[in-house]
Amino acid sequence: MEPIILTENEKAILNSYIGAVDGLAAYLGESYEIVLHSLESFEHSVIAVRNGFHTGRKIGSPMTDFALSMMEKLTNGETENMHPVYFSKNKLGEPLKSTTIALRGDTGRIIGMLCMNLYLGTPFLHIVSEMLPQESSVFSPENFDEGPVLTIEQELENAKAVVMNNQAILPSLRNKEIIRQLQSRHVFEIKNSVEQVAQALDISINTVYFHLRNLSKKD
């Protein structure tokens, strides 16, 4: 194989993976080495690396012989496995569980690789500690429901809890405030949301639309 000349668009695509390198390293923890390679240069292929102390690699380090072999097989059509998982060793002979993911540009040709290495000598307690929430961790609200109906129900329950616990909101204005909160969270952009909210609040559909029109005028 020979190094390739990347187009400006291909360089932009490859550089966009640098954010993925940072995100994966932050998510997986220090046990994982994350490396991004460019095929523009085999001798200085590493363009981003996090936790490189596991193999001693840094930006500007060369491509490994395995990665070169894999790229050659993919280029020649000898394999369709774009992300092989395998075991390897670093320079100190320490075991790693690795994967090399081929990255393609807008024309479909391979322009780089994203590699991950798990250092198998990491104490299990250390791996577990990085998976568990710390005292400073903040749990962000996120809805993983499978359908829009459940999403609307969850958003409605959240809005009702906030409004009902706010003693400053008069009972006669609670429904209006619930609808305002749902509108601010774009709930009414979901199909059939008006009907579902009206039924849950025991009010008419026209009443929901009335509040929405007034809120739109204020906005």
* pLDDT of res. 79: 64
Cβ proximity of 137 and 112 under 8 Å: no
**Coil vs helix vs strand at 33:** strand
Run of H or E including 59: none
Distance of CA 213 to the CA centre of its chain: 37
pLDDT tens-digit profile of 94-119? 999 999 898 999 888 899 999 999 99
| pLDDT (tens digit per residue) in 118-131 | 999 888 878 777 77
DSSP E strands, 57-137 = 85-89, 95-104, 110-119
Answer yes or no: pTM beyond 0.95: no
* Bridge partner list, 33: 117
Domains of the chain, start order: 8-131 (3.30.450.20), 148-218 (no CATH)
How many Å separate Cα 214 from the centre of its chain?
Answer: 38
Residue 38 DSSP symbol:
E
pLDDT at site 126 = 80
Q: How far is CA 19 from CA 12, 14, 15, 143, in A?
A: 12, 10, 8, 24
**Gap between the Cα atoms of 78 and 130, Å rounded:** 39
DSSP state, residue 147:
S
pLDDT digits 0-9 by tens, 177-194 = 999 999 988 889 888 899
Contact 156, 188 (CB under 8 A): no
Strand-pairing partners, residue 102, are 113
pLDDT (average), residues 70-75? 78
Q: Which two tokens stand for residue 131?
A: 């998976």
Six token digits for residue 186: 């774009």
Q: Starting at the earlier edge strand, list the strands of the sheet with 46-50.
A: 46-50, 32-38, 110-119, 95-104, 85-89
Judged by average pLDDT, the poorest of 72-76, 77-81, 179-183 is 77-81
Task: Choose between 135 and 51: higher pLDDT.
Answer: 51
pLDDT band at 134 (very low <50, low <70, confident <90, very high): low
> Looking at residue 191, what is its pLDDT?
86
Instruction: Quote the DSSP letter at residue 205.
Output: H
